[in-house]
């Protein structure tokens, strides 16, 4: 009696690869039981990061203590800053961040400790250090001096301050903060799963996050938000949007920012952030790209029954805030570090090596012919 072939799902679509108490997309996206819309409406990213890492929304005192610990860690070792300054000018911010996280592992006093408390300490430090690395590398690449982090600001406000050297309008801080909440966690996505696979070998959090950033780089994952403005600029404006979109679909081109492996009827996060993107565009005095996006959304729904994912409004929001396109995916990373770290901690708290099988499609059994008999 032959053994039945194992079930195969390309791309692991629909495969349950583990258990988690962090996040679910069933019935709408939620973090540890809280709907993401509710979190975006009533919490700051700092509160959500505490929720993901420590399991519960913080009290006022817990939030103050958490923010104090994170703020105290907002600094890079001088040798790492020197390395960022020495990188070639063509190095992308995300590639620089991948290198920075790997290097930070050498300077962390808990690097060799995979215990629960040590991993949480490292996670909080990475939450603090990643925005500093992004901002410092960006300014150094422009020939500008890095701006020291502020101790009195939350994650979103401090990041904008380090980029610009001035306080940003509260509306911009709020919009960025909401985008960080929406990007913070998303179950077993490619980068998170990569991190869990890495640490399941009993590797360390810096290795896991470095691998996660490598996965995030791809345009089918985090890099999609950088492609949104490329699409809109190629369209040119709302007057050309319908014709351009139909022509692109006829050519079977993929329009980044639409569709999702999990969400078939639309991404709730996109609906939340769309309003912020419109408000920021109005504040900037340029709603052309919002109008263009609206037409593309309408055509995509009618022609393909496809709906926007979070990257679609995020790319437009960051553009309206006058953030340069190469920063978009690093901003994703400085949000998702909360989710990645939570998954690393969860994986290592109850670890089992992740080692799936493959469905072999190669030649059947055959004997080796010695080299003398294989011809000239």
C-beta atoms surrounding 328 within 10 Å: 26
- Whole-angstrom CA distances from 324 to 69, 242, 317, 319 are 30, 27, 11, 7
pLDDT score for 264 = 62
Architecture in CATH for domain 21-167+183-218+331-349:
Orthogonal Bundle (1.10)
DSSP bridge partners of 181? none
Residue that has been written with the tokens 């679609």 in this structure: 312
Q: Which residues contact 236 (CB under 8 A, 6 or more apart)?
A: 244, 292
Question: Under CATH, what is the fold of the domain 224-320?
Answer: Cytochrome p450-Terp; domain 2 (1.10.230)
What is the Cα–Cα distance from 196 to 194, expressed in whole angstroms? 5
What is the Cα–Cα distance from 239 to 291, expressed in whole angstroms? 9
What is the Cα–Cα distance from 62 to 64, expressed in whole angstroms? 5
pLDDT score for 321 = 97
Helix (H, G, I), strand (E, B) or coil at 76: coil
What is the Cα–Cα distance from 188 to 343, expressed in whole angstroms? 9
pLDDT score for 12 = 83
What would the two tokens of residue 57 be? 């929304």
Task: Domain ranges for the chain, please list them.
Answer: 21-167+183-218+331-349, 224-320
Candidates 325, 101, 75; CA nearest to 213 is 101
Contact criterion met (CB below 8 Å) for 212 and 194: yes
Tens digit of pLDDT at every position of the chain (376 positions) = 566 666 787 878 778 888 999 999 988 899 999 999 999 999 999 999 999 999 999 999 999 999 999 999 999 999 999 999 999 989 999 999 999 999 999 999 999 999 999 999 999 999 999 999 999 999 999 999 999 999 999 999 999 999 999 999 999 999 999 999 999 999 999 999 999 999 999 999 999 999 999 999 998 888 888 889 999 999 999 999 999 999 999 999 989 888 766 766 678 999 999 999 999 999 999 999 999 999 999 999 999 999 999 999 999 999 999 999 999 999 999 999 999 999 999 999 999 999 998 889 999 999 999 999 999 8
Q: Note the helical H segments in 189-308.
A: 190-199, 205-216, 224-235, 238-250, 268-284, 288-304
- What burial class does residue 238 get, using C-beta atoms within 10 Å of its C-beta: 0-12 exposed, 13-18 middle, 19+ buried? middle
pLDDT score for 3 = 62
What would the two tokens of residue 184 be? 């913070």
What is the Cα–Cα distance from 165 to 167, expressed in whole angstroms? 7
What is the Cα–Cα distance from 31 to 52, expressed in whole angstroms? 7
What is the Cα–Cα distance from 93 to 159, expressed in whole angstroms? 14
Same fold for the domain at 21-167+183-218+331-349 and the one at 224-320? Answer: no
Contact criterion met (CB below 8 Å) for 315 and 321: no
What is the Cα–Cα distance from 359 to 245, expressed in whole angstroms? 38
Q: Which residues contact 341 (CB under 8 A, 6 or more apart)?
A: 52, 53, 119, 122, 123, 126, 127, 205, 209
What is the Cα–Cα distance from 339 to 190, expressed in whole angstroms? 12
Candidates 75, 98, 346; CA nearest to 209 is 98
Catalytic (active-site) positions: 260, 311
């Amino acid at each position: 009696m032959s053994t039945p072939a194992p079930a195969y799902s390309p791309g692991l679509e629909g495969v349950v690869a583990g258990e988690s108490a962090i996040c679910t997309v069933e019935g709408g996206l939620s973090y540890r039981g809280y709907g993401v819309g509710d979190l975006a409406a009533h919490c700051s990213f700092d509160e959500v990061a505490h929720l993901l890492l420590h399991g519960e929304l913080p009290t006022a005192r817990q939030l103050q203590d958490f923010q104090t610990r994170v703020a105290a860690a907002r600094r890079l070792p001088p040798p790492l800053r020197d390395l960022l300054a020495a990188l070639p000018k063509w190095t992308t911010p995300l590639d620089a961040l991948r290198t920075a996280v790997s290097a930070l592992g050498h300077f962390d006093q808990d690097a060799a400790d995979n215990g629960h408390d040590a991993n949480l300490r490292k996670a909080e430090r990475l939450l603090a250090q990643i925005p500093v690395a992004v901002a410092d590398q960006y300014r150094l690449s422009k020939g500008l001096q890095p701006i020291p982090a502020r101790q009195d600001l939350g994650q979103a406000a401090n990041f904008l301050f380090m980029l610009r050297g001035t306080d940003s309008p509260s509306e911009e801080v709020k919009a960025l903060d909401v985008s960080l909440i929406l990007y913070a966690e998303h179950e077993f996505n490619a980068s998170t799963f990569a991190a869990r696979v890495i640490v399941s070998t009993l590797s360390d959090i810096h290795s896991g996050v470095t691998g996660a950033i490598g996965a995030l780089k791809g345009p089918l994952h985090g890099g999609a938000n950088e492609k949104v403005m490329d699409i809109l600029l190629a369209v040119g404006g709302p007057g050309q949007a319908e014709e351009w979109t139909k022509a692109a679909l006829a050519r079977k081109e993929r329009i980044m920012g639409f569709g999702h492996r999990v969400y078939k009827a639309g991404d709730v996060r996109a609906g939340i952030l769309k309003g912020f993107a419109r408000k920021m565009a109005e504040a900037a005095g340029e709603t052309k790209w919002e109008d263009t996006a609206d037409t593309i959304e309408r055509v995509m729904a009618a022609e393909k029954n496809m709906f926007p994912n979070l990257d679609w409004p995020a790319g437009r929001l960051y553009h309206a805030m006058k953030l340069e396109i190469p920063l978009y995916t690093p901003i994703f990373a400085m949000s998702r570090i909360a989710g990645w770290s939570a998954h690393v901690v969860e994986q290592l708290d109850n670890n089992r090596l992740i080692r799936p099988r493959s469905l072999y499609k190669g030649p059947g059994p055959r004997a080796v012919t010695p080299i003398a008999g294989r011809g000239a």
